[in-house]
Amino acid sequence: MSGLSLLLRAARAAFPAGARQLRTGGLRSAYAKELFLGKMWKEEVFPYPEISNEELEEINQFVGPVEKFFSEEVDSKKIDQDAKIPPETLKGLKNLGLFGMQIPEEYGGLGLSNTMYARLGEIISLDGSVAVTLAAHQAIGLKGILIAGTDEQKAKYLPKLASGEHIAAFCLTEPGSGSDAASIQTRATMSEDGKSFLLNGSKIWISNGGLADIFTVFARTEIVDNDGAKKDKITALIVERAFGGVTNGKPEDKLGIRGSNTCEVHFENTKVPVENVIGEIGGGFKVAMNILNSGRFSMGSASAGLIKKLIEMTAEYACTRKQFNKKLSDFGLIQEKFTLMAVKAYVMESMAYLTAGMMDRPGVPDCSVEAAMVKVFSSEGAWICVSEALQVLGGLGYMKDYPYERYLRDSRILLIFEGTNEILRMYIALTGMQYAGKILTGKIKEIKKGNVGVALEIFVNKFRDSLGRKVDLGLVGEAGVAHPSLEESSKKLEENIYYFGTTVEGLLRRL
């Protein structure tokens, strides 16, 4: 058990039972989806998710050691140049318990909430290679076991994954299958006795592929439907390197995140016990999507952490560098760039911790749309902000003697992995439209049944819209939840949400 884990356990033991619960409202799982109906469930976001003083104290107890380690022990320049994380750095990460941040304490992990995980992400993001290595391990590599594994699978694999003795990788992408995950060709063939699969195929661009002992692998399997027809469906499997037949190619030479291990992984007649199926046979596509959907939110806090560090370093330069007998920081165009970076970082942080707070509520809330929104905004915001920082720094920012150009190279991957932003934009739109479509279809069915109330509601709404209705979603006014200084912005937001909903409804009626 890591020293940090022991520290956390001691701290938690001192807190009263239930002190770590987030002080938030009841569970709703469709905040972002409701926007497509022109509605805003303000109870979901007002007040902003708040953690208890006890949990805040707990967070601060482990933030210090992690910050100290990254500032004193992580040589990012060397990692980038050598395209490898040194063994002593990996050992330090393991000793801090960072390979088991979200693995429950009963399996030897730190058992962090999503909010606490996001806070650590702000620090870890300062080295892109380390951040990707840890994320590939736990945000996707072992996440399938965590969210869909059996008790036996968790007991067998999670302890060594939590300590870092074993490292995990997520194997989905193939030479002919990228964003179209359903088109994978790797195949798992059931043995005649039904006790195991023979796995054959290749995966590409696998983070931790050359380091991993445990792989979450997605493969086609033949299943028999209820009507007796045979079909190919995707199944998720836990594969150990020790099973045999698992090999990997040389590390890829990448533009950024150069120290993270990325390579091809090949499976040749790898025998996998049927007990290692995650979820059910043929249910792997859903497992894959749930894994990816659950981890994207942390990109917001990670990007915010990176941008805040960039602001700090760039501001120091702008306040000392003089041109035309003036500091750079005195020029309006330079101030504008810092304003942009500060606003982007604030929004990234706000979106990430709001989503984390929703995910930390009891039950299993569906925050996949919110997480996708966080990923798209934060990845694009980070790319813009790093570019603006380099513009402030001028030629200095372009030199390899300084870390800025590395931040630029590292941040480019954010728009590509864990779902390209183009795919996620379609996911957000289609998921929201589908949700709104179900509600609208339900109303149409009620009208056909003779429900006059529903028909009248639709008529009245359309009549009010034709007269130019005054939109009131409860953000402002006597019972308003937004600060009075934000009244003008709140009214604009209410109008945008409402008329977005009417636009969605109009599009759906055309289909």
Tokens 């009208």 appear where? 447
Q: Is the peptide bond before 86 cis (omega within 30 degrees of 0)?
A: no
The kind and range of the H/E element at 486 are: none
**Two structure tokens written together for 27:** 């569970």
Dist CA 27 CA 257 (whole Å) = 37
For 455-496, give the DSSP string. HHHHHHHHHHHHHT-----SSSSTT--S-GGGHHHHHHHHHH
Dist CA 349 CA 373 (whole Å) = 13
The 3-state secondary structure of 341-389 reads HHHHHHHHHHHHHHHHHHHCCCCCCCCHHHHHHHHHHHHHHHHHHHHHH
Q: At what angle do helices 404-411 and 368-393 cross, to 10 degrees?
A: 150
Closest CA relative to residue 365, chosen from 154, 151, 153, 147: 147
Is 418 designated active site? Answer: yes
Closest CA relative to residue 93, chosen from 61, 123, 110, 69: 69
Closest CA relative to residue 27, chosen from 43, 3, 11, 4: 43
Dist CA 94 CA 133 (whole Å) = 12
**Two structure tokens written together for 308:** 């805040």
The catalytically annotated residue of 58, 240, 418, 505 is 418
Q: How many CB atoms lie within 10 A of CB 144?
A: 25
Active-site positions read: 418
